[in-house]
Amino acid sequence: MDIPAAADPGRTAPDPLLARLRAGEAAAYRELVRANAPRLQATARRILRDEHEAQDAVQDAFLAAFRALADFDGASSLGTWLHRIAVNAALQRLRRRPRAPTCSVEDLLPAWSDDGHHATPPRAFAESPESCAARAETRSLVRAAIDRLPDDYRLALVLRDVEEIPVAEAARSLGISEGALKVRAHRARQALRTLLEPHLQRTP
Amino acid sequence: MNCQEFRSLERDAVEGRLSEPVRDAFAEHLGACAACAERYRRACHLTCREVAEFLHDWVAGELPPERARSFEDHVHICEECEVYLDGYKKTVALGREALTAADDPAESAVPERLVDAILAARIEEERRRS
């Protein structure tokens, strides 16, 4: 598995947990897993959309991290480092899956007239609703729309906009160029905008 | 007409919504003021389609300054692009919120047996290696 050496300029002091892990302290390992597993599991679920596979990916990730602990250079926080490993573990499992047939993203991109104008005028989005119930409803609508995106585009969106992985690293994880990743993330946002527009447009 | 008035009328001018006397004053200022003419030309020079292609980099703050200026000038005069840009930005925020909010099934708790399984697998691996 690809073990990234993620740089995190915000980091200052070395993690005291690291020394205990390197000393082989069992309690330190439990602490590390307990503290990080929920976030890593959420990340793996977002990528794999399958509970069991996500848990397997989390396990893959921790074991890969334990093996690489001696080489961990502290250039990022332990949490950031684990997160990147979990992303790669989940992607690796995703690649092993047979590819499901997907719809084309082209149908969800804006259409243009010959002179470069919007073929159909875009409609304005309403402001986010105030009430909790309405917000929850919107979230489930958005999740359903994200699930409709072709997988390559959904992944670009999840890695960039949700997991907030830097472009270079996300591109490397997906095995594509940085330019290609930016295009995919942009197309994914455009397609999602198209899917959301009829549901979230401002009522006159 | 001064530059500020000119700027406030640019969108209506593009959409053909100016009354005749205002249109004449607008044209007069356009002919007389090099700075306004330059900006107006830049804004009209980009197509909406090009603006849509620059969105990603503009949102990321990665558009070269010259191009960013054209982008912003275009959005200033083009209602459709402004509406599209606003929806694009809201889409990014909604996507993030939808996948990270507490009611997302992806955020539920980690079972203790997963923690135990991971720790047991580590010990098993160490045992095999030694």
Share of chain A above pLDDT 90, in %: 72
User: Would you state the pLDDT for residue B21?
Assistant: 87
User: Would you state the pLDDT for residue A48?
Assistant: 95
User: Would you state the pLDDT for residue A102?
Assistant: 74
Instruction: Classify residue A160 by its DSSP letter.
Output: I
User: Would you state the pLDDT for residue B39?
Assistant: 84
Mark yes or no for CB contact B95/A162 under 8 Å.
yes
Mutate which: B88, B118, B119, B126, vs A, most A CBs within 10 A? B118
pLDDT, tens only, A42-73: 999 999 999 999 999 999 999 999 999 988 88
Res A9 pLDDT > 90: no
Res A11 pLDDT > 60: no
SS3 A118: strand
User: Would you state the pLDDT for residue B40?
Assistant: 85
List the structure tokens of A137.
């409803």
CA dihedral B1, B2, B7, B12 (to 10 degrees): -10
Average pLDDT, chain B: 89
Mutate which: A25, A29, A66, A139, vs B, most B CBs within 10 A? A139
Q: What interface predicted TM-score (ipTM) does this complex get?
A: 0.87
**Cα Rg for chain A, rounded, in angstroms?**
20
Share of chain B above pLDDT 90, in %: 46
- Of the two residues B49 and B103, the one the predictor is more confident about is B49
List the structure tokens of B83.
């509406």
Average pLDDT, chain A: 90
The residue type found at A69 is L
Determine the residue of chain B that is closest to A42 in CA distance: B106
CA dihedral (B23, B29, B31, B37) positive or negative: negative
Confidence of residue A197 (pLDDT cuts 50, 70, 90): very high
Mark yes or no for CB contact B122/A66 under 8 Å.
yes
The residue type found at A21 is L
pLDDT, tens only, A76-130: 899 999 999 999 999 999 999 887 777 789 999 999 998 888 999 999 999 887 8
Res B41 pLDDT > 90: no
User: Would you state the pLDDT for residue A108?
Assistant: 93
pLDDT, tens only, A133-182: 888 899 999 999 999 999 999 999 999 999 999 999 999 999 999 999 99
